[in-house]
Amino acid sequence: MERKRLKVDMEEKKTAPETEETVDTEEKSRAEAETAPEEAAPVKGEAAPEEAVKAEEPEAPAEEETAEEEPEEKEEKEGFLGRMSRKEKKLKREIEKKDAEIAAAADSYKRLMAEFDNYRKRTEKEKAAAYDIGAREVIEKILPVVDNFERGLSLVEEDDKEDPFTVGMEKIYKQLETVLGDLGVKPIEAVGKPFDPNLHNAVMHLEDESLGENVVAQEFQKGYTYKDQVVRHSMVQVAN
């Protein structure tokens, strides 16, 4: 029995340190577990270490500075925009003024061109009228010469028509008629035509039943027109 008790005591002695070591390790682990959450958990009213570091950084003042600078920037922008708007309005007024001046200049230019065109047309008409007046005056002075050629040639006898002088005078007379025709001078037809007071000048009256009423029976002086205008009326005798 004593031997058994000795064995039991020996076994208890062997197991005792192990149990004490296990108890110590368990107590240490429990203590570490209790201390770890106490260190990690922040105390109320205090900031965590990382947050404290962040609070020490100069970010919050920078935000305050930017917040303070924003109204000034807005004022500068508004002032700049106001100056730009005033400049734009001024430029717009100047552009409108220049546009009005350009429109007025264009209108005056068009009026001047229209006046010049009218003046040019009027001067051309006046020149043409003056030319026609001058040409009619010259033609009126040449027509008596033509009349004298006609009277002289009408008095030539049949035997003298082959005379060189007579032939020469006839050629000059025909050349004069050609030149007058090229200028627009044409003789007025009278004999056998109805009397027209716009073309004919009646100097004598004749009663002849063989002729129609109010018909030109004889022509005493040939009349001429220049560009459809009467230069000289025909001097005629009217029948019935």
Task: Determine the average pLDDT of the residues in 124-146.
Answer: 89
Separation of alpha carbons 55 and 40, rounded Å: 19
Sequence ranges of the chain with CATH classification 2.30.22.10: 186-240
Residue 132 has pLDDT above 80, yes or no: yes
pLDDT tens by residue, 193-221: 899 989 999 898 888 878 878 888 889 99
Joined tokens for residue 66: 């930017």
> Which segments of 88-160 are extended strands (E)?
none
pLDDT tens by residue, 38-64: 444 444 444 444 444 444 444 544 444
DSSP 3-state assignment of 230? strand
Output the average pLDDT for the chain.
76
Q: In this predicted structure, what is the pLDDT of residue 21?
A: 47
Residue 22 has pLDDT above 90, yes or no: no
| Exposure of 108 in the CB half-sphere (CA atoms within 13 A) | 6
Contact 204, 187 (CB under 8 A): no
Separation of alpha carbons 30 and 26, rounded Å: 6
DSSP 3-state assignment of 130? helix
Q: For 203, list phi and psi in degrees, rounded to 5.
A: -115, -15
Separation of alpha carbons 216 and 218, rounded Å: 6
For a pLDDT cut of 70, what percent of the chain falls above it?
65
Of residues 28 and 52, the one with the higher pLDDT is: 28
Residue 222 has pLDDT above 80, yes or no: yes
Separation of alpha carbons 197 and 238, rounded Å: 11
Q: In this predicted structure, what is the pLDDT of residue 72?
A: 67
Q: For 227, list phi and psi in degrees, rounded to 5.
A: 55, 50
Distance of CA 218 to the CA centre of its chain: 68
- With respect to CATH, is domain 186-240 assigned 2.30.22.10? yes
